[in-house]
Amino acid sequence: MTEEPIELDLRGEICPFTFVKTKLQLEELESGDNLTVIFDYPPAVSNVPKSVKNEGHTILGIDKEENNIWKVHIKKA
């Protein structure tokens, strides 16, 4: 298990690729690891967390940054 969250920058990506790439990154992590995913595509902010939760992972929080950037914090199941 890693101490620091892994960061996945998906700025410029659109759905469904935002979820596909998030899922692939989660598959490489160990249970309990944290992943921070960065989006600039508004639909991904609602779609990816919903899909990630359906996969059994935990959404730790969503931060809205400047310039329509969001960070979604995920804990792998």
Q: Catalytic amino acids?
A: 15
Question: How many Cα atoms are found within 13 Å in the side-chain-facing hemisphere of 70?
Answer: 18
Write b or e for each residue in 17-35: b if 16 or more Cβ atoms lie within 10 A of its Cβ, otherwise e: ebbebbeebbeebeeebbb
